[in-house]
Structure 1
């Protein structure tokens, strides 16, 4: 994973189910359009109006190809429209991160 788009969502805390449906649809759409979906995350404890989405790409060129595929994807367009209509996303912020390879996917050690 060369770059990861880290999306922070401020969501309506009373519409977690709607955000979950939105994220679940991306679970089909994002891989089909060329992104490596790490996952979407809803609040569990603490702050109840912040959710996260993480999607990785080989590089920015791969991201641009993904964006073009996403614009042409009917299910993707419908998912965006559903979010706009239902207004469960109040704000969205994107940051681009580069992972430190030696720290990625490190499983915990199991005591024997």
Structure 2
């Protein structure tokens, strides 16, 4: 399983538009085959950094997911919405693999 972390640099004056964008992905991403962990908007500290996080089984599954997302009506509209409103200034993707396991109280490290 891979986790994709998208780091967005957003226009701090358009945070409400980013929140709408995030809510739309909340519907489209799971429908197109990825496990959405969530979208996170600035609250305290930086007013320009936001994140989207989801998991997918493999890079091959990611390619198929991206193709479905590009064909999804809400996905297409959300991409157009972001281009039209220009609230995303930059977007970077990083794929991470979990290398630890959860530990219970008292378990050795």
TM-score by length of 1: 0.88
Secondary structure class of the residue paired with 1:44: coil
Secondary structure class of the residue paired with 1:65: helix
Following TM superposition, where does structure 1 have runs of at least 4 consecutive aligned residues deviating by more than 2 angstroms? none
Stretch moving more, 26-35 or 57-66? 57-66
Relative to structure 1, the CA distance from residue 10 to residue 74 in structure 2 (aligned partners, 3 Å threshold; closer, same or farther) is same
TM-score by length of 2: 0.91
The size of the alignment, in residue pairs, is: 105
Q: Structure 1: which 5+ runs fail to align?
A: none
RMSD of equivalent CA atoms: 1.5
Secondary structure class of the residue paired with 1:67: helix
Q: Which deviations, in whole Å up to 9, do the C-alpha atoms of 1:1-37 show, x marking residues without a partner?
A: x101110000000111000000000000000000110
In 2, Cα distance between the equivalents of 1:101 and 1:40? 23
Q: Structure 2: which 5+ runs fail to align?
A: none
Q: What's the CA shift for 1:107?
A: 8.4
Secondary structure class of the residue paired with 1:14: helix
**Which residue is equivalent to 2:53?**
54
